[in-house]
Amino acid sequence: MPAFPSPCHLPGNDVPRPLSADVKSFYHLPQHEHAGKACQGTACFAARHFNPARWTEAAAQSPRVYCLGECFAAPAKGQKKPRPPVKVFSPHGIVLGRIAAGGARTLAAYRASGGYAALGLAFTAPAERVLAAVDASGLRGRGGAGFPTGRKWRAVATQPAGQKYVVANADEGDAGAYIDRYLMEDDPHALIEGMILAAYAVGASKGYIYLRAEYPLAGVVLNAALAEARDAGWLGSRIGGTEFSFDLEVYLGHGSYVCGEETSLLRSIEGNRPEVMARPPYPTERGLFDRPTLVNNVETLVSVPWIVTQGGDAYAALGFSKSRGTKALSLNSLFNRPGLYEVEFGVTVRHIVEEIGGGLRDGGKLKGVLIGGPIIGMIPPHLLDTPLGFEELAAIGAGVGHGGVVAFDEHTSIPELVEHVFSFGAYESCGKCTPCRSGSGRVEKLFTHALAGQATKADLQECHELVTALKLTSLCGHGTGLARFAESILRYYPTEIEPCFK
């Protein structure tokens, strides 16, 4: 593959640029227009019968707001709701332990619960020891793809010395997920410590937390925590008396689901039009400002301090199969016990739905569950005994995704859900691939016709063809995820779909 420069790279000018008018036009919320708006995300869609007026308001709004991270109280409007219950169901509370105990927003609270011990330990040995611990842990990325974290870190660590970056993906755009939001709001130093450890391991000197605009409180809390960490000498020059220097800042997004995709996210920080880019080259080699860059999800990074203090083997002892450790899950408002829960990989989806979530509210009958959606396969009731694991869920056309768990009851008709998901898909497409840019809107329209009783068998055939094109030709997981969702629906819910196409 020939080397080509990033479209934005100006040598020696690694500074985010102000947004031009063209770049601004890509975003839905360039002026943070979400304030005070009702949410139109999939968890709110699933819960629209609890408050039809709010849903009507959300559906009529422009620009659309797709997730406020309040899925536990959906349908949602603004960050004024009580906080969700937080509990640890795994043997160790690796990511939610501190939050379940009340949180640690300040440096003093974080240190009192063992915070920054991992960094102290890491600095007593070469960076290789941190890399080896992350390798041994079997940790896989929590942002959706499940890529082995140790392998990604080594790919950056082995790049020639020079400017390198660490970026935390705090875009959390998947409707139904509010995990990263509370990790940042209630335990910000855990993310900061995880990022410093990552930077030490790979040799990076600068980091960004790419934070979605819809989480304004997280931005306030993180900036206060960064100032505390800087004052305490955990950020800046020659940290802990070592040769290692690293600083970190928050970059606030402008409203775009696809900016959660890593190449889009990096272009966004640079101030360029954030269309997805083909890989290779991978960000580990040529990422932010064309420099080697480590991009990890918030929960992935928050897992690292525990791994460094307790050892990679202790982490790998948790979980099952190729999915080691624990996973945070956020359950939507259709459950009797919506909330934020940490579980060990290997529990069944049934256990999550019936034991942890307590089944559905108001005696609702489960129609299906999306884990890590909306652009992921739906799990029908007859497959609830599938264990939570990357390969195990992929085998039934579903996935772990980001860990948001959205249940649907009999109030949701499956054709309406397809129309909703493809409407979201079309709205958030970056526009680079034709089947995603035009095809997703076409599927939405065909389902609108189907719901109005105006669709034919030929229209259903066209849907199948568009889904195949999305699956085969999409450049990123947005298009392939839409295809995965549609395939699961066509496979598991034919009795709801086929009668709509006459």
Beta strands 319-320 and 323-324: pairing type? antiparallel
- How far, in whole angstroms, is CA 172 from its chain's centroid? 4
Query: Where are the alpha helices (H) located in 311-456, listed in sequence order?
Result: 312-316, 349-350, 390-394, 414-428, 434, 440-451
CA 433 to chain centre: 22
Burial class of residue 336, CB neighbours in 10 A (0-12, 13-18, 19+): middle
Q: Report the distance separating Cα 302 and Cα 324, nearest Å.
A: 15
Asked if 332 and 406 touch (Cβ cutoff 8 Å), the reply is yes
CB 230 within 8 A of CB 93: no
**What value, to the nearest 5°, has the Cα angle with vertex 267 and ends 438 and 8?**
110
- Kindly state the number of chain residues that form the binding site for ligand FMN, as judged by CB under 6 A: 21
CB of 383 to ligand FMN, least distance (A): 24
Q: What is the DSSP string of 316-355?
A: HTSEETTEESEEEEEE-TTBSS-EEEEEETT-BHHIIIII
Instruction: Output 201 or 450, the one with its CB closest to ligand FMN.
Output: 201
Residue 24 interacting with ligand FMN (CB under 6 A): no
Binding of ligand FMN at residue 141 (CB under 6 A)?
A: yes
Site for ligand SF4 in 232-261 (CB under 6 A): 258
For residue 85, count other CB atoms closer than 10 A to its CB: 13
Is residue 429 at the binding interface for ligand SF4, with CB under 6 A as the rule? Answer: yes
The one segment of 32-40, 256-264, 323-331, 393-401 that binds ligand FMN by CB under 6 A:
256-264
Residue 276 beta carbon to ligand SF4: minimum distance, rounded to whole angstroms = 4
* Cα 446 off chain centre by: 29
Binding footprint of ligand SF4, residue count (CB under 6 A):
14
CB 472, min distance to ligand SF4, A: 11
Instruction: Pick the binder of ligand SF4 from 478, 483, 488, 501 (CB under 6 A).
Output: 478
Contact pick of 100, 132, 136, 145 for ligand FMN (by CB under 6 A): 145
Confirm or reject binding of residue 474 to ligand SF4 (CB under 6 A).
yes
The verdict on 478 binding ligand FMN (CB under 6 A) reads yes
* From the list ligand SF4, ligand FMN, none, partner contacted by residue 431 (C-beta under 5 to 8 A by kind): ligand SF4
Supply the minimum distance, in Å, between the C-beta of residue 97 and ligand FMN: 20
State yes or no: residue 433 binds ligand SF4 (CB under 6 A).
yes
Name the binder of 330 from ligand SF4, ligand FMN, none, CB < 5-8 A by kind: none
Concatenate the DSSP letters of all residues of 5-26 into one string. Answer: --TT--TT--SPPPPPHHHHTT
Q: How far is the CB of 27 from ligand SF4 (least distance, A)?
A: 14
The only residue of 398, 430, 446, 466 in contact with ligand SF4, by rule CB under 6 A:
430
| Residue 431 binding ligand SF4, by CB under 6 A | yes
The entry of ligand FMN, ligand SF4, none near residue 147 (CB within 5 to 8 angstroms by kind) is ligand FMN
Distance from C-alpha of 77 to C-alpha of 59, rounded to nearest angstrom: 12
**What φ, ψ does residue 219 adopt, rounded to 5°?**
-65, -45
- Segment 289-318, which members bind ligand FMN (CB under 6 A)? 295-297, 300
Question: How far apart (Å, rounded) are the C-alpha atoms in residues 350 and 371?
Answer: 12
432 binds, among ligand SF4, ligand FMN, none (CB under 5 to 8 A by kind): ligand SF4
The closest alpha carbon to 64, from 256, 237, 262, belongs to: 256
Distance CA 12, CA 21 (A): 24
Sole binder of ligand FMN in the list 10, 147, 245, 494 (CB under 6 A): 147
In the block, which residue shows the tokens 């080699």? Answer: 285
Cβ neighbours around 148 below 10 Å, total: 16
* Helix spans in 232-379 (H): 262-270, 298-310, 312-316, 349-350
Candidate segments 113-121, 195-203, 361-369, 432-440, binder of ligand SF4 by CB under 6 A: 432-440
Report how far residue 478's alpha carbon sits from residue 475's, in angstroms, rounded to the nearest whole number. 8
Q: Is 431 in the site for ligand FMN (CB under 6 A)?
A: no
Choosing among ligand SF4, ligand FMN, none, which partner's interface includes residue 141 (Cβ < 5 to 8 Å by kind)?
ligand FMN
Task: Tell me: does residue 432 bind ligand SF4 (CB under 6 A).
Answer: yes
* Cβ closest to ligand FMN, residue 54 vs residue 154: 154
Query: Is residue 66 a contact partner of residue 424, using CB atoms and an 8 Å limit?
Result: yes
Q: Which is nearer to ligand FMN, 97 or 144 (CB)?
A: 144
268 interacts with, out of ligand SF4, ligand FMN, none, CB within 5 to 8 A per kind? none
Measured CA to CA, the distance from residue 374 to residue 63 in angstroms comes to 19
367 binds, among ligand SF4, ligand FMN, none (CB under 5 to 8 A by kind): none
Partner whose binding site includes residue 430, from ligand FMN, ligand SF4, none (CB under 5 to 8 Å by kind)? ligand SF4
Closest contact distance (angstroms) between CB of 496 and ligand SF4 is 26
Q: Nearest distance from residue 478's CB to ligand SF4, in Å?
A: 4
Chain residues binding ligand FMN by CB under 6 A are 141-145, 147, 169, 171-173, 258, 260-262, 295-297, 300, 476-478
Chain residues binding ligand SF4 by CB under 6 A are 258, 276, 429-433, 436-437, 474-476, 478-479
